[in-house]
Amino acid sequence: MSEQTVITNIGTLLSGRLDEPVLDADALLLEDGAIAAIGHTADLRGDAAELDAKGTTVLPGLVDNHVHPVMGDYTPRQFQSSYLEGYVHGGVTTVVSAGEVHTPGRPKERAGTKALAMLAHKTFTAFRPLGAKIHAGALLLEDGLTEDDFAELAAEGVHLVGEIGISSVQDAPTAAQMTRWAQAAGMTVTVHVGGTSVPTSRSVDAAFVVEVKPDVAAHVNGGPTAAAIDDVARILDETDAVVEIVHNGNVRAARDVTQLVADRGQLHRLVVGTDSPAGTGVVPLGVLRTMSWISALGGLSGPVTVATATGNTTAARRIPGGVIAVGEPADLVVGDAPDGSQAGDLCAALEAGDTPSIAGVLTDGKLVVTKSRNTPPPLRRPSFWG
């Protein structure tokens, strides 16, 4: 027997895609953990268990493009556990590692860095806090890695290279060579951009990024110190990388980068992350808050902003999720304006600079959050609230 759920009376259904950010539908049929149909309440209502959204907004589960996990739901950087569960309460259902850099005693040579990436990938494939998908095992580039190493790791499922600039490979020609090997093996590669993050890393300018040509130019608004806006323009001009805005960064630069990318008509190249846990801490609402900055300060509409934190990221990372489409995983957020907001719904709340309310979260079609422990309550309460 298949397991069916229908979400009805959706006030606004956001696709997570820039080409059609708001869908002309008010109901979703979920079957066996995936989205089975998109339509209207009267048509989709049937024998399935019903979740009445009561006019709230439904959107794809948010994707945090920049997290530094270790093993399990614990971070030695901030001595905190269960933080990834807290992120799900902030609407995040997919997490992408930028490298397991906080691992105590992290090995900094060829065999050790490979082992760490493979172990992190394999443990987080099986370990899913509240059903969230943690894409971990982001290989940190150390001197001596060979082309065969990338192929070997890719064959075991490792599909990420962690932030270049943190580990021992610091010269652009070596980083570029390893990036070519990684990309040929199907991996996506991230480069740390801007000022030094912690005393052991380095500052990275546009010339380095242009030579390395990664898939992701990390935290161009600062991690935590922002790159020059001219460097961001050069990265947009001379590479195909997506540019990332993070919570652990500079707020004014977040605004300037958003406007730069929008002015150039390249919003498909904008993605969102937290860059956490970091010195700025564990941030369960980091993706939501960064979205409110880029919408309220950068001038993007709510639906477009949602795409930058969902479908843009899964497209850049070539991973499932991030969009409302038949066959995609039913990883969903039910949200609204927070109670007391001047705004009338989730999108208007983002545009006003408020942090939206998370009224519910589903992973693989199952309700895992019915009342966020981290956001204010919603203006309207869906049937499952509480």
Would you tell me which residues interact with Zn ion (CB under 5 A)?
Answer: 163, 192, 197, 223
Residue number, 133 or 192, with CB nearest to Zn ion: 192
From the CB of 192, what's the least distance to Zn ion, in Å?
4
The number of beta carbons lying within 10 Å of the beta carbon of residue 268 is 17
The number of beta carbons lying within 10 Å of the beta carbon of residue 171 is 12
Residue number, 167 or 355, with CB nearest to Zn ion: 167
Q: Could you tell me if 166 and 99 are in contact, meaning their C-beta atoms sit under 8 angstroms apart?
A: yes
Residue number, 12 or 197, with CB nearest to Zn ion: 197
Distance CA 76, CA 112 (A): 19
From the CB of 277, what's the least distance to Zn ion, in Å?
13
From the CB of 208, what's the least distance to Zn ion, in Å?
13
Cα distances (angstroms) measured from residue 285 to each of 55, 74, 79, 152, 290: 23, 17, 18, 36, 9
Nearest alpha-carbon partner for 260 in 204, 217, 208, 223: 217
From the CB of 36, what's the least distance to Zn ion, in Å?
39
Residue number, 316 or 368, with CB nearest to Zn ion: 316
User: 3-class DSSP state for residue 385?
Assistant: coil
Residue number, 223 or 298, with CB nearest to Zn ion: 223
Distance CA 27, CA 46 (A): 12
Per-residue tokens: 207: 């010339």
From the CB of 222, what's the least distance to Zn ion, in Å?
9
